Amino acid sequence: SLSSTLPLIHFSSLAVHALHNAQSLFVGISNAISRDYRDLIHLQNDGWIVGPNGRLLLWVPPSYKAPLYTPWTHLIIPRGTLELDLSKMAHGPSWHQCYTTVPKYNTT
């Protein structure tokens, strides 16, 4: 199956911080298994990390782009890097779960 053959997508040195259900990002990509998934994910100059077919994954503020641990990281010098825990990140068909409305309090 696609989910068992795709590598973990993570922006952390810890595998438990990997993006769960990453296969939802690769729906409709016929050669996703045969390609290095890092070729399908790009960090754009505007800070957006996009997946296959230009799907937005997450936005990185400019001040965090330099120290960001990414799938393209080859060497880690442990001081001053930023790691992201994506294990509970809403994405793909569940993206709408990333926002919960807060009820307004009556001040009268």
In terms of residues, how long is the chain? 108
pTM over 0.75: no
| 3-state secondary structure (DSSP) of residue 84 | strand
CA distance 53 to 41: 9
Residue 106: inside a domain: no
* Total domains present in the chain: 1
Domain ranges, residue 65 = 2-98
Residue 103: inside a domain: no
Higher pLDDT, 46 or 33: 46
Dihedral sign (CA 27, 28, 34, 36): negative
Residue 107: inside a domain: no
- Which residues face 84 on adjacent strands? 11
Residue 75: inside a domain: yes
Token duo for residue 40 = 């399908």
- For 45-96, the pLDDT digits (tens) are 898 888 777 888 888 888 877 767 666 666 666 666 677 777 777 766 676 6
SS (H, E, C) 25-43: HHCCCCCCCCCCHHHCCEE
